[in-house]
Structure 1
Amino acid sequence: MRSQPRSFLQWLGIALAVAVVVILCLSLGRWQWSRHVNKDARIDTIAVNYSADPVALSEVVPSPSDAISDSQVWTPVSVRGTYVPQATALLRNRPIASTPSVHVLVPLETEDGAVLLVNRGWVPYDVDVTRPSTIPAPPTGLVTVTVHLRHSEARVGRDAPDGQVQSITVTDALVAGATYGGLEQWPTMPVYEHVYGSLIEEDPAPTTAMRALPEPDTDPGSHLSYALQWWVFAIGAGAGFFVLVVREHRSRRAPVSSEYNPFAALNAQEGTSRTGKQHGAGQRKTRHIKDVDADYEDSLFVD
């Protein structure tokens, strides 16, 4: 039996559900697309800057209060100064190739009278130990340091043990390291608070080298394919609703066959009944004539 046409409220509910699905899929697709665009921009920046020849720090960051643009991230710069190992801070929860590790953040007092935070590299450690027992010391005295410039990171809002941080937020790392090292009044000079450096090399080299930081990730990921998938889902939902509307429209316009028409079925039944009655009357009339003929023939032979 054919289903009844949907009511207005049913169609309204279906339309609203489809609209929600389409809007959600379009939004998720756009979000993945924006991530794809941003990742591509970062990859382009890395390709241009990462292996470039180093320039003086002052050419990229004229003063300690200045920040760098996204297009300047990973720019190699050289700066001369003296490390302050007493104010070393450790970055937690930043594994390298799935190896539990801490990054070693050491301030550098530059010849220009400012402080630049340097991520010298990383050391593995046991996750059950609060602080690694051995951390390679930086070179002493005046040193030329070459680093890749990075943005100071946003705070993550999680506590860390003394002398450690959960993100490379320059001001937090300097405070954590100085407090742990007993340098309560340090630093007294300007700080490059919007940037830090990821170590490339030191001259002179340290007695024991740190484990080098890995190169930045240049894998574009699957953001583009995810965006396309979400948009295909949105198109599919809209197309499905359109097909449903077309089928409903055709169903309403199509003539009703006797299979689904109760009145046609009734008429057919009534016609069959009439035909049966007429046929029965004819048979009774034929039998009556035959009976009359038989009686007449019998009377001829009497007497």
Structure 2
Amino acid sequence: MYRFLLTPRWWGINVFILLAIPFCVFMGSWQLSRFEDRVQDHRDAGEQATAAKTQAPRPLARLLPVDKKTSGMQATATGRYGKQLLVPDRELDDKSGFYVLTMLRTDDGRALPVVRGWLPGDAGTTKAPAAPAGEVTVTGALQASESPGSNGVPAAGGFPAGQTGAISSASLVNLVPYKLYDAWITLAEADPGMKAVPATAPSDTGLDLKAFQNLGYTGEWFVFAGFVVFMWFRLMRREVEFAQDAELGLTEETPDPGLTPAPAEGEASREASREDSDTGSAKVSSSPTA
């Protein structure tokens, strides 16, 4: 009854099933591992942020370049404040305001962007306090350059003079006359009159939309694997039912008239002669006797 499974048609179906199921399971497992990695990164980032608050500050040069391990760590730098910019449309404690960003010129000739604090209101009308004069040593959480469109960073451009949308070397290179570090810090204690800006987690370490997309893809691949098994079982049952019906005589295989071969030319002639002979005999037998 199951001999049909060895036919060429079913060999092709079986090979496809044997390849499709492991592939679906592999892809589902891979997407699940990606989700678990993002969950672990989220936990590590939280633990790192908590530990960074109690760790002793380190010199800036020892923490560069910024990566997932060094992001959020307390860094110190010494220099003199230079050009100041405002970063509008930033929220803190569910209130709209702006960051006060000042360039700290260090001894090596480069400038480190320093977020000295946050102020409520409109960056175009609210006056920000001036930076301290003379040499200063700052301490704050090290941060990687921002990317427009992430972590609340506006993606639109066209800001007025004295303002910038993102804190990054790529955005600031045309706004300040200094060479810049590819990093910035937010002061642990804001300057007078402002609120300290908390450090943000590094990119790709949170339970964002990408993480839940990985979880959704995991379910889809496992559903595909189950659907493949279901369809194979359904096809097999149909073949078995058809074979059983054929054995019981419940189905008749009627040949397709279009597939019936035409008689050969000689056979056609003999058939025509036979028909003519039968017709002549019929005429003789039907004629009246004298």
Q: TM-score, normalization: structure 2?
A: 0.61
Task: Tell me the CA shift for residue 37 of structure 1.
Answer: 4.9
User: What is the correspondence of 1:177-256 to structure 2 with a 5 Å cutoff?
Assistant: 178=176, 186-187=177-178, 191-201=179-189, 206=191, 208-216=192-200, 220-221=206-207, 227-254=214-241, 255-256=244-245
Partner of 1:95 in structure 2?
A: 91
Partner of 2:6 in structure 1?
A: none
For 2:69, the aligned partner's letter is S
Q: TM-score, normalization: structure 1?
A: 0.58
For 2:217, the aligned partner's letter is W
For 1:57, the aligned partner's letter is L
Change (3 A) 1:117 1:216: closer
Partner of 2:101 in structure 1?
A: 105
Counterpart of 1:165 in 2: which secondary structure?
A: coil
Counterpart of 2:92 in 1: which secondary structure?
A: coil
8 Å CA contact 1:29, 1:226 repeated in 2: no
Task: Tell me the CA shift for residue 38 of structure 1.
Answer: 4.3
**Separation in structure 1 between the aligned mates of residue 219 and residue 126 of structure 2, nearest angstrom:** 54
**Separation in structure 2 between the aligned mates of residue 170 and residue 96 of structure 1, nearest angstrom:** 23
Aligned length: 225
Identity rate of aligned residues, in percent? 19
**Separation in structure 2 between the aligned mates of residue 260 and residue 234 of structure 1, nearest angstrom:** 42
For 2:57, the aligned partner's letter is P
Partner of 1:135 in structure 2?
A: 128
1:208-240 CA distance string (max 9 Å, x none): 331111353599537766644432332122212
Q: Which runs of 5 or more structure 1 residues have no equivalent in the other structure? A: 1-7, 62-66, 179-185, 264-303
1:68-88 CA distance string (max 9 Å, x none): 34311222122233222xx21
Taking only aligned residues, the RMSD between alpha carbons, in angstroms, comes to 4.0
For 2:111, the aligned partner's letter is V
**Separation in structure 2 between the aligned mates of residue 131 and residue 199 of structure 1, nearest angstrom:** 23
Task: Tell me the CA shift for residue 99 of structure 1.
Answer: 2.6
Structure number, greater radius of gyration: 1
**Separation in structure 2 between the aligned mates of residue 37 and residue 99 of structure 1, nearest angstrom:** 31
Task: Tell me the CA shift for residue 40 of structure 1.
Answer: 4.2
1:15-39 CA distance string (max 9 Å, x none): 8xx99x959x748656645544543
Change (3 A) 1:32 1:164: farther
**Separation in structure 1 between the aligned mates of residue 121 and residue 187 of structure 2, nearest angstrom:** 20
**Separation in structure 2 between the aligned mates of residue 116 and residue 51 of structure 1, nearest angstrom:** 23
Partner of 2:263 in structure 1?
A: none
- Of residues 65, 80, 83, the one that matches 1:82 is 80
**Separation in structure 2 between the aligned mates of residue 250 and residue 73 of structure 1, nearest angstrom:** 59
8 Å CA contact 1:49, 1:76 repeated in 2: yes
8 Å CA contact 2:72, 2:201 repeated in 1: no
**Separation in structure 1 between the aligned mates of residue 198 and residue 36 of structure 2, nearest angstrom:** 27
8 Å CA contact 1:89, 1:173 repeated in 2: no
